[in-house]
Structure 1
Amino acid sequence: MSSQLSPARQRIIKTALELFTTQGVTSTTTRQIADLAEVNEVTLFRQFGNKYGLLLALLEESTAFQNLGEYLAKNLYNEGDVSQIIHDYASNALLSLEQVPELMRSLIGEASQYPTENRQVLGRGIKKINQQLGDYLAKAVTQGSLNTNLPPHKLAALLNATIFGYAIIEFTSEFTELWQNQDDFINSLINLFVTQNNLSTPAFSMNTANLELSSEVVDLPGNLVFKILQQARKSGLQDYALAYVLFAAGLSVNEIISLQKTQQIQTPQAHILQISTPTSSRQVPLNQWIMGKHYGVYNNNPLAKWLKSRKDDYPTMFINDKGSSISELEIQQRWQKWTDNMYTPQSRKPTIIQTQHTWRVEMLMRGISIENLTILTGCTDKQLQPYAYRAKEKSAIEQATNLDQKN
């Protein structure tokens, strides 16, 4: 927030943002804002006129809105795979919007109640975000890495409208069942906006989108997996346990979020997680060996140590500071911390979805059959074929390397 603003004005705007974020604009009163900001309500009226004048000031003066476009555009590189960049852009946008569902619902759903000036500010903010994405897409068209029948800035506006529409539906309602999860939505987005516009450009396979629909598998090398686990270990017991479950069981972030402490079977011979969804149920064992390194035994591993350290009565397996189930955003933030300054052999930042790539390929490399892997993952034979091909590719490389060493 600008340093030129008076302390009282800064405090009022900051408090309004907090209340609008947690309970929406309509449900927040000027009295609540004034009391929490420790000012007289008359001061608020003198500074802003009314609640909508305060909202207008918030939209124009708060850095939370001034920098939103720059934050969403931070992964729009000048070069690279368009599918990867759109994937990162959509992920960043949804992570930002997921933090403020009540404010988003108010800004969009209640906009018709706002004065014209407020709606104009909202429109200018959205226009700025569209402009930044459109500039990137225009450059991609010029470089020949994106084919589209639409002007780039119209394509950008349509892309953002789809992302915001998904966020409004998913973050403000329940049981929509439009997509299996957020990765499924982003995969569909890329398939619609990139793949269909690049039928003559086979390089743009969706290598970091939802694995079940991906034609290319991008697993992580063993040395990078080891580094990520080491960084997670330095961050604490829960972080280490989270990273361990990602690499040792190949679960999705959504599956991890819904895990309860009771959903484990632990014996001296096995440590198994029970995965339950509204439509299916399956069991997945935790690997004690990950990419050639040993991570404890069945009853004494990073997850077992984390659960043993718990002194609370919260039912969920992984929790945040408030005792609630950890969110996708919080897991993403932890992942970013673990992988800071790390890059894959493709010169990209590692993504969480690649832990699932890695686990599935490793299972096949260690001899599990496709049939049995379908049982553990809930996927079909067809969905697992890309992993089978990647496992064969790695086996061929290993065989060629071994032959060379023998000679």
Structure 2
Amino acid sequence: MSPPLKSHPAIPTNSRQKLIPDYQRVRNISLEICAPLMVDDYQIQSGVETSPPKWHLAHVTWFFETFLLEAFDPGYQTVNPEYGYLFNSYYQTVGAMHARAKRGLLSRPTVEQVLDYRSEIDNRILDFLDDCDESLWQQAAFRLTLGLHHEQQHQELLFMDIKHNFWNNPLKPRYLQRSQPAIEETGKLDWEQRPGGLITIGTDGIDGFTFDNETPRHQVWLEPHRLSSRLITNSEFLDFMQDGGYMRPELWLSDGWSHIRNNQWIAPLYWENHDDQWLEFTLYGLETLDPSAPVAHISYYEADAYARWAGKRLPSEAELETKMLETPVTGHFSESGVFHPQAGEGQFYGSLWEWTASPYLAYPRFKPLEGSMGEYNGKFMCNQWVLRGGSCVTPENHIRPTYRNFFYPQDRWQFSGIRLADDL
């Protein structure tokens, strides 16, 4: 098994001496994630929502070249003018882009050429940071910090996409060899009573880096409620399945029922039934399902149906944020080197992203960043749902109590799970 990924301190925006080594560390972690791959693995795209590992490595490099080097140097000459078309993701204000569904067809540039591109841009970025005028430093430092958090998001996507790629291979190859995992007990599901009232969530970004969708601070009214003490386990989700959960339309939202029927879903993603025994595909290959581990790779539709079956509901993002503000940001993150959720208690950070009952919408008085950076979050505030807390493949210093992740309700290739809430 590979060693844990290197952790690093919170990424600052005001110190040249700290930001430069942080840039190097974050960039190296992306290469560490890809180190177990064979060269053929870099090319695979197993679905429209996924991307080849090679594309991820090139895209985050293009991000730094486009939004830092080009943005701050009017006379900048790109490494390859065609890369802007190949590796732009969704920045319409920058220019045309290659179709997302066809990224797996890009056999050229080769993996070697992409790695050379990364190396060249890294050298140019470091030269730029060394020479950056003090009058531009704060702007450049913020843009670089945004790029590092952007790369951390793609590091998580690398784990997600590699897992999906390998699962689609009939050989079910391992990404890593698992060492003997620590055995943790999952206790009884308890409930914490939480008060209602007028509370404040969100951030004004004055204490460190935040994405624009976390802003601004604003007031929300909460009713008294309860939160479950841990995530729902595989064993508990099996009870739902054995009670006909996937066959009972009264438990499902209309769109969810149509989706599971059309796609013939009968279990969470990566579950396989072999001779009446449930197995789960992991980054360590196909393994016997651990009944005490949190159920993973659950869509919003499945999380909502389970909550209905249990006579409960999903928490709102405001309910989770108020709890997370009281909870230290510690948990099972990517630095642990165990890239699969483990049994345990609490689990408010790390382990699995937690679906909320909150649609992904703008906070009151939200203003996106200016220019192309305004395309980063704001334009996706439609038809998606908020998840909180991070996962076992999220870098620990990437997560904050105010962090808002978002996916479509049918998505489940991300490391997502279920926490329940209840009204008082």
**Which one scores higher on RCO, CA 8 angstroms, separation ≥ 6?**
2
TM-score with structure 1 setting the length: 0.29
Greater strand proportion: 2
TM-score with structure 2 setting the length: 0.28
Q: Which of the two has higher C-alpha Rg? A: 1
Greater helix proportion: 1
